[in-house]
Amino acid sequence: MERVLIVDDHPLVRDGLRTVIAVAFDQTELFEAASIAEATAIIDREGDFDLVMLDLNMPDAQGFSGLAALRERFPALPIVIVSGAVEAGLVQGAISNGAAGFIPKSLKRSAIVAAVQSILNGNLFVPDEFAAPDDAELEEIRHRIDSLTPQQRVVLGLVVAGKLNKQIAWELDVSMTTVKAHVSAILAKMSCYSRTQAVIMAGKVHFTPPERERTSA
């Protein structure tokens, strides 16, 4: 993990998270923002981050509006909610709005580090007591995969097989631009922030891609 942005309007909370991350990931460059607007400006200026740690209660956001705004503007950016308020509705709401996880501020430092590492590994993290039932989680993954077009499911199958974009383009006889568009659409429809997370989700439901068709797209 190279760069992390901590977004919280309380300086003491930012200092605490900064210490946790700096100790556990000593090569990480840390940035701080006290509002959604400031966070947006920093991301626009600095480019990609490995992780954004976002508090739900921000001065320029209501409910999940801050998370939704950042996800819409930076769809490939992994954002984890770090909140002092912890209840089932908030956890599920955060995940539904595209968060990569939900970390309670009350967790011990070691547990916060473990949660961050799990998210970096492509997993969706929520506290055990708020984890969705297995059947519900699998049904939701199937629903997201069902929303893909046939060609997007073919591309997902190749991503799951570990193929690079240029290999996918060659195998399907399409342009790199087309492949990138398919991959972006797949991540958006599956509410994933990385190819790794999409592969993990597909694996949970034993995804089998349809027969491939070569096109001239």
Rounded average pLDDT over 21-47: 94
DSSP-based three-state secondary structure for 166: helix
Q: Say which residue the tokens 């991301």 belong to.
A: 43
Is it the case that residue 131 has pLDDT exceeding 70? no
Looking at per-residue pLDDT, the higher value among 217 and 128 belongs to 128
Q: How many Å apart are CA 109 and CA 160, to the nearest integer?
A: 33
pLDDT of residue 19: 94
Say what the pLDDT of residue 171 is: 92
DSSP SS3 for 111: helix
Q: Which residue has the tokens 């002092």?
A: 84
Task: Give the model confidence (pLDDT) of 141-200 as tens digits.
Answer: 899 999 999 999 999 999 998 899 999 999 999 999 999 999 999 999 998 878 878 888
With b for 16 or more beta-carbon neighbours within 10 A and e for fewer, the 41-75 pattern comes to ebbeeeeebbbbbbbbebeebeebebbebbbeebe
The Cα 70–Cα 64 span in angstroms is 10
- Per-residue pLDDT band for 217 (boundaries 50, 70, 90) equals very low
